Amino acid sequence: MSFEEMWAELLPIGRDETSGGYHRFAWTPPELECRAWFRDEARRRGLAVENDANGNMFAWWFPEDGKRHDAVLTGSHLDSVPGGGAFDGPLGIVSAFAAIDLLRARGVRPERPIGIAAFAEEEGARFGVACLGSRLLSGAIDPARARALTDGGGHTLAEVMHNAGLDPAAIGPDDDLLGRVACYVELHVEQGRALEQPVGVAGSIVPHGRWRFGFAGEGNHAGTTALGDRRDPMLPFARMVIAAREAAERNGTVATVGKVAVVPGGVNAIASSVTAWLDARGPADDAVRRTVKEIDEAARVAARPHRVCVEFAEESYTEIVDFNLALRDRVDRALDGVPVLPTGAGHDAGVLSARLPTAMLFVRNPTGVSHAPAEFAEPADCLAGVEALAAVLDDLARG
Ligand code: GLV
Ligand code: MN
Ligand code: MN
């Protein structure tokens, strides 16, 4: 299967016919279909499929001497944000299979195992915590907390994993698996317009996190309740959205409220509660922390006159990631020099960098759009990405 054929197979899975956006949430039917595709592609190539306890999947090309450790891992994720693009995640996995095909066609015999990973729930679109699979694998999240995470329908991660045939009691750090991996190199579509050449390499990931605000008021009739009698949670919520923009402008960060749940959600009813999720990122930890603190304060000040209660919780936070310099230099040398750029997007490579050397290759995105249907990379740039990944894997797998 060529890159184009693999891409064409994945393309219809989980795509909304009207918007063209993807809905591939962890362990939902479209994502399970992507997982089946992954297993088929691995088996087609004689790669050994390994499922870990955390819902992550691996496809291994072992060297002829049977060596199982000191592996070079590549890959990405198959899940998407709601209404996401086709490239964020799958590009890294399709490119990895295509890179292995290229190496084999050239007669390369790796001295170290080469693995392709498909990490679970990277976007955190279902259970709220981004990079959940790599966080569990590397010990960056408490398994008990993870088991209790709930999706929008009230189903816990434990329940969903159990229904998918996994044992939720077994989730957590896997030092045996990580101990077999020497480094991880993730190829990803660029998510801005900063890359002017087909391929670049990541320098750093900015600090970023997610916070949940709960505004609890009192549901009531939209026509018969006098303004002075209302406890309308929508008002401090609205103020909080504006405060997020203002705090981001003051602190040189970005802050976004992209998800909100209104209960009960009736046109002619004052809401009883509003839950809103804040995503904040910036060049330094203190700027991000200050931004979030200012938004929280603004929400509380706005809630008081309306007798609305505010709850606030951090759902995930990732400190600045500076990618391993020695690995980045080696990648750069294997590619004869490519641009280095920082990114405002989170990745499993960032989470795993706490445990092993990681690096990222970016493929140019001419629109700069991501997490939306217009996300795009030119076919020629995708093939340049495959060539680059093959060159990097070839170099790293030589020992
Ligand atoms: C993942 O793509 C993120 O940056 O949220
Ligand atoms: Mn993403
Ligand atoms: Mn991604």
CATH 3.90.1580.10 fits 3-206+320-396, yes or no: no
Residue labelled with tokens 């709850």: 311
Segment 178-236, tens digit of pLDDT: 999 999 999 999 999 999 999 999 999 999 999 999 999 999 999 999 999 999 999 99
Mean pLDDT over residues 257-277, rounded?
A: 98
For residue 78, how far is its CA from the centre of ligand 3 (angstroms)?
Answer: 9
132 touches ligand 1 (CB under 6 Å): no
Q: What is the pLDDT of residues 274-320, one digit of tens each?
A: 999 999 999 999 999 999 999 999 999 999 999 999 999 999 999 99
Is the distance from the beta carbon of residue 321 to the nearest atom of ligand 1 less than 6 Å? no
Ligand closest to CA 91: 3
Distance between CA 175 and CA 165 in Å, rounded? 22
Domain ranges of the chain: 3-206+320-396, 208-318
Question: Is the distance from the beta carbon of residue 124 to the nearest atom of ligand 1 less than 6 Å?
Answer: no
pTM exceeding 0.75: yes
Q: Does ligand 1 have an atom closer than 6 angstroms to the CB of 130? A: yes
Ligand 1 center from residue 343 Cα (angstroms): 10
CATH, range 208-318: 3.30.70.360
* Ligand 1 within 6 A of CB of 81: no
Task: Tell me the residue type at 165.
Answer: G
CA gap 48, 39 in Å, rounded: 9
Half-sphere exposure of 79 (CA within 13 A, CB side): 25
Is residue 100 in contact with ligand 1, taking CB distance under 6 Å?
A: no
Tokens of 269: 């009813």
Gap from CA of 104 to ligand 3 centroid (Å): 27
In the predicted model, is pLDDT for residue 6 greater than 90?
yes
pLDDT, position 228:
97
Return d(Cα 260, Cα 288) in angstroms, integer. Answer: 21
The answer to whether residue 399 scores a pLDDT higher than 80 is: no
346 lines ligand 1 (CB under 6 A): yes
What distance in angstroms lies between residue 84's CA and the mean position of ligand 2's atoms? 8
Cα–ligand 3 centroid distance for 107 (angstroms): 31
